[in-house]
Amino acid sequence: MTAPNGHPKHDHPYETADRAGRAMLARMTSGASLNAAAAAWADWASHLARAPGRQMELAERAMRNGAKLAAHAAGLTRDDPPFRPRAEDHRFSHPGWSTPPFSIWQQAFLAAQDWWDAAAEPARGTDPHNSDRVAFMARQMLDVLSPSNVPLTNPEILQETVRTGGGNLMQGMRHLAEDIRAQATATPAETASGFAVGRNLAVTEGQVVFRNELFELIQYAPRTEKVHPEPVLIVPAWIMKYYILDLSPENSLIGYLVEQGFTVFAMSWVNPSADYRDVSLDDYRRDGVMAALDAVGKVMPGQKIHACGYCLGGTILSIAAATMARDGDDRLGSITLLAAQTDFTEAGELMLFLDESQVAFLEDMMWDQGYLAQEQMAGAFRALRDEDLVWTRAVSRYLMGKEDEAFDITAWNADATRMPAKMHSDYLRALFLDNRLTSGRFAVEGQVIALKDIRAPMFVIGTEKDHIAPWHSVYKVALFTQNELTFVLTKGGHNGGILSEPGHKGRHYRIGCRTPETRYTDPDSWYARHPATEGSWWPEWARWLAGKTGPAEAAPPAMGAPDAGLPPLCPAPGTYVFMK
């Protein structure tokens, strides 16, 4: 018998006590493994200690940075500061940062940041993963010490304090007290967003026509007299609520599809409790995606189904599609993947949190809880962009006294879900750590599956600034498939790039199609060969779907299939979406 990591499994009579201790520690660290962090620093430091040339290089860099900083402090470089913030760092955008003494404090911080960027580059022999983790942790520590976080060294806070007579600090203290109370009582803080599911979010009209223990299936009501004959099934990620694709009416992707004459079904995943601890990744495939396909087939029998998966929903859809192809199940008319990865060798900054030590630590915490809690997963995502999502927000809310801005996507982002312990462990190990899906080692029901068996055409979306599913990683599905594949690269991030409705200002996209006979093109070459087109990618997808589903000349189907045991159960957005 083997353990999850593939090593022989031995009986350890006190293993339960060890796991309980690690689980308690994991709760204190929000799931971050101290051993993984220490190992990264030790690997980096030991190799640097054996590289005297690299040490001299860093010492010279420190002296050069110090000299540049001294010259700036002396007023010799005021019009051309030696260090500049990263393009995505907006903490120093206030004009007050260009005048002393604030400019000196800013430059000192950026000089230290420049030195650590160089220091974290791996010395020969260092594990690149450890070097990346050290760079990440160094950035986290520096961000704590940023002068933008301190009222006396931030010109914007000082200006606001003078303007309001200290009212901003008083309001900020009230915000802090509210957030501490909410954290201590495990209740969500009250917001002035005005957004609520069923009122102005997830309001596209429809009916729940199927429900099991994992999901509800929503069928959306037609808005056109005639519809395309074949339906669209949306498989969202189970990590968040489905209505990211049905936000406000003006940016609802589901609403847009319905308006284009498509019959749309969407899965709304359950928010699992500890009772779901033993639900597996394959349960999500079998009792989730496959059960949804079965239900859609009963509502619209004899029609091909055009499935669309978002993020992890796209990953599980790819697994289901490859399994169907292996087994001769040809119900899929096409497959659309929205910011979804199938290969995880270049899975982006999330890999900073994942190695054997970290996954084992998370597994011990989930063994105790039965699930991964919303706030534990959300903390990892916030850490990836802490200067914006943590420190900039803290300065704005607690020192500037401002309310959080009201956006529909912000309300959705706060409405996360839990993940069952076994399922989360399954996909962390099988996909992120072992990358089994594209290496020929992912088995479903005892038999290995392969993406190259998929014959249904694909429409794949990557987003330019995706921290969760980098577009180079999303693009790699082209390397492991042999079907017709249209790839689109759109402006924006993991969520913002998908929510790119027609009329959205400043949007562009690139699009290209590969036929089964086309030779592989690497992502950078593909990018160079496909110029940007201004506007939204949504109409491109609608046209592509229309070409696959047939013209909109059919009568809309009935809601549900009462004769097949699928009567409408309740109006959209259903009941699972409200589970906390």
pLDDT (tens digit, 9 = 90+) per residue, 52-77? 999 999 999 999 999 999 999 988 87
What is the token pair recorded at 353?
């949190």
**Cα radius of gyration rounded to whole Å, the chain:** 26
294 backbone dihedrals φ, ψ, rounded to 5°: -60, -45
Indicate the DSSP class of residue 563.
G
The candidate with the shortest Cα–Cα distance to 20, out of 404, 436, 365, is 365
pLDDT of the residue at 385: 61
pLDDT in tens, 484-533: 999 999 999 999 999 999 999 999 999 999 999 999 999 999 999 999 99
Residue 380 has pLDDT above 70, yes or no: no
Residue 165 has pLDDT above 90, yes or no: yes
> Who contacts 242 (Cβ-Cβ below 8 Å, separation ≥6)?
202, 234, 236, 266, 267, 268, 269, 577
Give 34-62 as a DSSP string.
HHHHHHHHHHHHHHHHT-HHHHHHHHHHH
What is the token pair recorded at 460?
């794949």
pLDDT of the residue at 198: 92
Q: For the ranges 373-377, 484-488, 570-574, which has the lowest average pLDDT?
A: 373-377
pLDDT of the residue at 6: 55
- What is the Cα–Cα distance from 169 to 172, expressed in whole angstroms? 5
**121 C-beta neighbours (distance < 10 Å), count:** 16
Q: Are strands 371-372 and 485-490 parallel, antiparallel or unpaired?
A: unpaired
The candidate with the shortest Cα–Cα distance to 403, out of 255, 189, 184, 547, is 189
Residue 257 has pLDDT above 60, yes or no: yes
The candidate with the shortest Cα–Cα distance to 507, out of 453, 553, 461, 554, is 461
pLDDT in tens, 330-373: 999 999 999 999 999 888 777 777 778 788 878 888 888 888 87
Region 524-553: mean pLDDT is: 96
Contact status, residue 39 vs residue 132, Cβ threshold 8 Å: no
Residue 1 has pLDDT above 70, yes or no: no
pLDDT in tens, 72-91: 998 887 678 999 998 888 89
Residue with tokens 């450890």: 130
pLDDT of the residue at 11: 64
- What is the Cα–Cα distance from 485 to 405, expressed in whole angstroms? 39
Residues with catalytic annotation? 311
> Who contacts 528 (Cβ-Cβ below 8 Å, separation ≥6)?
none
Residue 440 has pLDDT above 90, yes or no: yes
pTM of the model: 0.88
pLDDT of the residue at 55: 94
Residue 31 has pLDDT above 90, yes or no: no
Contact status, residue 488 vs residue 537, Cβ threshold 8 Å: yes
User: Please, which pLDDT band fits residue 295 given cuts at 50, 70 and 90?
Assistant: very high
pLDDT in tens, 2-30: 555 555 556 676 777 777 777 777 777 76
Residue 192 has pLDDT above 50, yes or no: no
What is the token pair recorded at 540?
């491109």
Contact status, residue 317 vs residue 337, Cβ threshold 8 Å: yes
pLDDT in tens, 216-225: 999 999 999 9
pLDDT of the residue at 379: 57
63 backbone dihedrals φ, ψ, rounded to 5°: -65, -40
Burial 429-450 (b: 16+ CB within 10 A, else e): bbbbbbbbbbeeebebeeeebe
Longest distance between any two alpha carbons in the chain, whole Å = 84
* Residue 178 identity: E
- What is the Cα–Cα distance from 459 to 546, expressed in whole angstroms? 13
- What is the Cα–Cα distance from 458 to 461, expressed in whole angstroms? 10
pLDDT in tens, 126-144: 988 888 889 888 988 999 9
pLDDT of the residue at 37: 84
